[in-house]
Amino acid sequence: MLTGLVLTMTGIAFLVWGLFRLAAVALPVAAGFCAFLLCARGQAGPLAGLVLGVLLAAVVLILGRLALASRLPLVIRGGVAALFAIPAGMAGYSVAAGLMQLGGAGPFASTVAACMASLATGIAALASLAVPQMQAGTPS
C-alpha cells in the first residue's frame, strides 16, 4: 500500500516536472507539427514533412530566444514572450483539467486548478526561455 502511494506520487511529480520543462517548446512544436501535416498531406510526403517540421521547430525556438535576448523594444519582446507563454498556458490548462477530471473532481474544482496550472505553466515557460543577463563588473 505504501509502495503504491510512493510510486504514484513519484509518477505525478515526474509528470508535472515534464510539463514544466516541455511547456517552453509548445509554440515550436505546434509550428513544426503544422508544417509536418501540410507536407505529409501534400505531395512532399511524410519524410520531407518530418524534416521540415523539425527544422521549423528549431528555427522558431532559436528565433524566439534570440528575440528575447536582443535589445529590441520592450513591446516587441513582450509580444514574443506572449507568443511562447500563451500556448504553454493552454497546454498546462488542458493537462490539469484532464488530471482533475480523472481524479473525480467536480467541474468548479477542475476549472480553478486548471486556471492556476495555466498561469504557473506560462510563467515556467517564460522563465525557461529567459536568458540570464550579464551584469557590469561581474566576471564571466
Q: Give pLDDT, residue 26.
A: 87
Mean pLDDT rounded to a whole number for the chain: 85
The residues spanned by each domain of the chain are 22-129
Q: How many CB atoms lie within 10 A of CB 120?
A: 18
Kindly tell me if the per-residue pLDDT of 139 is higher than 80.
Answer: no
Cβ neighbors of 125 (< 8 A, separation 6 or more) are 23, 24, 26, 84, 85, 88, 89
CA distances from 38 to 24, 35, 46, 84, 101 (A): 23, 5, 9, 22, 33
Q: Give pLDDT, residue 16.
A: 78
Q: How many CB atoms lie within 10 A of CB 105?
A: 16
Kindly tell me if the per-residue pLDDT of 134 is higher than 60.
Answer: no
With contact defined as beta carbons under 8 Å apart, do 121 and 94 qualify?
no
Which of residues 22 and 35 earns the better pLDDT score? 35
pTM above 0.75, yes or no: no
Q: What is the average pLDDT across 13-20?
A: 81
